Amino acid sequence: MTTTTDITAGAPLTLLSEDEQMFQQSVREFAIERIRPLVHQMDHDAKMDGDLIKAFFELGIMGIETPEQYGGAGSTFFNAVLVVEELSHVDAACGVLVDVQNTLVNNALIRWGNEDQKSKYLAMLARDTVGAYALSEAGSGSDAFALALRAEDKGDHWVLNGQKLWITNAAEAGIFIVFANANPDAGYKGITAFIVERDFPGFRVGKKEDKTGIRASSTCELIFEDCRVPKENVLGEPGKGYKIAIETLNEGRIGIGAQMLGVARGALEHAIAYSKERKQFGQPISSFQGIQFQIAQAATDLEAARLLVYNAARLKDAGRPFLREAAMAKLFSSQVAERVTSVSVEIFGGNGYTREYPVEKFWRDSKIGKIYEGTSNMQLATIAKTILTDRL
């Protein structure tokens, strides 16, 4: 096994404050020491290590933006992005578990939860409970609001019937943010967000998907059969679920950009180290210009992706518009991840195509970046719309 080289050293760190650099380094060390020894087995078993999830809570990275009064770190969105990147540079499955917890579930509760909901659920999510975000359905992907899951008002409670598909963290989650249509005649304006606990009557987690990449991250269907949800578990207000979903996903896309940034970086670090050790024609392959140029191009693409992701995160923290920047960050980072991981496999040659070496996993993990939390085509549509209705 090769020893990787840290390619974030130097100029990129000028983008970070001293405190952010120290925080980033602590998470990086955790990822290398605690996660890396488990990656191969978790990928093989398609299951996240339970003790590792406990360690995420102990480290305080499951409630990064959550205010301290609810047990969180009271930190920034930018720090959440750093965490996702650092975890993903070792294992993208760990990165997305923490990403969904912070940028989607916690974020939705922080922004739209009432005080009772925050006191109860944010505290649980910071302490020991994994969260999941349930929007997608069989007929509701890019057309996110074509929801078949129905919610019926029964006076003192709601009843949900239907299914959700492709829900990240579902196998481990104890709390689910669920979107259902409470008034189909009103179209998307009938969509309502609910906080569903795992043990609510009529709710269960169904089949787990057997995926190509991010295999240790659970992706499952959710089944609602006359699921009773207390009236007080409406998030926001009835009919405002579409707004919660759109605005939360805009922030979540920056997190996916960070995940793909980490995936690309992890693969390239392994490729650089391998190129210095692998010899052909009596010299390391890193001495050949063909290899050097591939590494140079990959590193340049990686740096451009980093700037897009970090800029979008900074804009969010500053309270400035970031819709276009988030779409650009996700679009470009997912493209870079696919290219850089593919080049990394090629630098390893035949070894790169085997599971004995780490780069093939980064390659498999990269593909999902163009698909979930908004496909690349949807990001292009968002970017085009904002450009054509505004000035660059």
pLDDT tens sequence across 87-130: 999 999 999 999 999 999 999 999 999 999 999 999 999 999 99
Calculate mean pLDDT across residues 21-29: 96
Is CATH 1.25.40.10 what the domain over 243-388 is classified as, yes or no? no
- Both tokens of 194, joined, read 């609910």
* 373 is a catalytic site residue: yes
Average pLDDT (199-223) is 98
Residue ranges covered by each domain of the chain: 11-130, 132-241, 243-388
pLDDT over threshold 50, residue 209: yes
For residue 385, give Cα distances in angstroms to 231, 321, 323, 327, 380: 38, 15, 11, 11, 8
Instruction: Give residue 1's pLDDT band: very low, low, confident or very high (50, 70, 90).
Output: very low
Residue 13 confidence (pLDDT): 46
Buried b (16+ CB within 10 A) or exposed e, 218-256: bbbbbbbeebbbeeebbbbebbbbbbbbeebbbbbbbbb
Report pLDDT for 11. 39
Q: What is the CATH number of domain 132-241?
A: 2.40.110.10
Q: What is the pLDDT of residue 10?
A: 40
Q: Which of 65, 85, 360, 373 is catalytic?
A: 373
* DSSP notation for 211-257: -SSSTTS-EEEEEEEEEEEEGGGEES-TT-HHHHHHHHHHHHHHHHH
pLDDT at 70 over 50: yes
Amino acid in the structure at residue 118: K
Q: Write down the architecture of domain 11-130 according to CATH.
A: Orthogonal Bundle (1.10)
Measured from the Cβ of residue 324, the count of other Cβ atoms closer than 10 Å reads: 19
Instruction: Name the band, by pLDDT with cuts 50, 70 and 90, for residue 65.
Output: very high
Mean of pLDDT values over 190-195: 97
CA neighbor of 133 nearest in space, from 49, 42, 255: 255
pLDDT surpasses 50 at 9 = no
CB 331 within 8 A of CB 383: yes
pLDDT higher than 60, residue 249: yes
Among 74-88, 179-193, 377-391, the range of highest mean pLDDT: 74-88
Q: What is the mean pLDDT of residues 257-284?
A: 98
Cα–Cα distance measured from residue 245 to residue 158, given in angstroms and rounded to the nearest whole number: 20
Q: What is the pLDDT of residue 4?
A: 63
- Using the predicted structure, report yes or no on whether residue 205 has a pLDDT greater than 90: yes
The reported pLDDT for the residue numbered 145 is 76
Q: In whole numbers, what is the pLDDT of the chain averaged over residues? A: 95
| Confidence (pLDDT) at 30 | 98
Q: What is the pLDDT of residues 120-150, one digit of tens each?
A: 999 999 999 999 999 999 988 777 678 999 9
Tokens of 346: 């090629």
- Torsion angles phi and psi, residue 207, rounded to 5: -60, 140
